[in-house]
Amino acid sequence: MDRRARLATGFVTRRLTVEIERWPVAGAFVIARGAKTHVDVVVAEIAEDELVGRGEATAIYYHGESAESVAAAVRGMAEAVAAGVTRLDLLAEMPRGAARNALDCALWSLESAQLGRPVWALAGLPPPHPLITAYTISLAEPAAMEAAAGRVGDYPLLKLKLAGEGDLARVEAVRRGAPDARLIVDANEAWNDRDVVQEAEALAALGVELIEQPVRAGEEARLDGIHRPVPFAADESCQDRDDLDRCVGRFDAVNIKLDKAGGLTAAMLLAEAARDRGMEVMVGCMLSTSLGVAPAYLLAQHARWVDLDGPLLLARDRPDGFSYDRAIMRPSAL
């Protein structure tokens, strides 16, 4: 008798629990859309007999999600979870987004516990090794960003949050504060009224190696046929593999986040499809604890750019979370 049949007959029981947890940010996390002093994450736990799988998700606020709406969507799957829903079922039955991410990752975690095999092996991913992650410099006036860069000047890769007006001065200031660091920038859709090529050429002269989401999602046609002196990465423009076709030829890379794609399962499909189309892969995250970052860390093993500093930006993390030696991140098991 297979597991689903055993669940149906009561030989095995599955229980879903959902909690919202609040984690304080170290100082404030500021982007073009506003500032955060804390993040509310949704944790889904699926227990089967004595084994438990856990997944964490952060609401995609620019999609109108909230921690409460995500938790409600996860709780709405309780009967399906009890009946033995699978990861492939989730792809068919739930929309992309944070709720599906929490459940998908919980199912990966549960299967890992049941089979005694690590998630990376179950997923056919390479064995994990320590990675260098970008460290985010929050949006601020140039002097403040220069000072922030000076404090982390030994980090090899910095990610700058930009806002449109005054961006060149911000990047120049960070370059003064961290003259040897590699730089990537996130425009957060803020260059809509600016000359994208001119902005990109100015940043290329300062050694910027990647520009995320210069224009609004839905307005990708503004990038048709333009010269890209620095690779452009799609973030808001690409949630999962269904969005790739409108990004090809307009972006050179895609920033994959599990909360956008709706889980590790969907994120792996997106990474494969992006590479098939000749695009580079970046793996990022929302503000989250190490529980939320852990599945993305596995996907990031072959990414060109890694931006998994979510736990590093919090005032505290889970006790069994990642260790960060400045920019080098490794799970506690390594």
**Residues acting as catalytic residues:** 161, 257
- 101 CA to centre of own chain: 11
- Contact, 29 vs 287, CB < 8 A? yes
| Dihedral angle over CA of 301, 306, 311, 312, nearest 10 | 120
Question: Residues for the chain: how many in total?
Answer: 334
Are the C-beta atoms of residues 178 and 152 closer than 8 Å to each other? yes
What is the residue whose two structure tokens read 């960003």? 145
Residue 101 in tokens: 């991410």
| CA proximity to 284, closest of 191, 174, 184 | 184
Q: In the numeric block, which tokens belong to residue 54?
A: 């856990």
CA distance 318 to 310: 12
Kindly give, in sequence order, each residue whose CB lies less than 8 Å from that of residue 50, ignoring residues fewer than 6 positions away.
none
**Structure token digits, residue 323:** 């260790």
Query: How far is 218 from 204, CA to CA, in rounded Å?
Result: 25
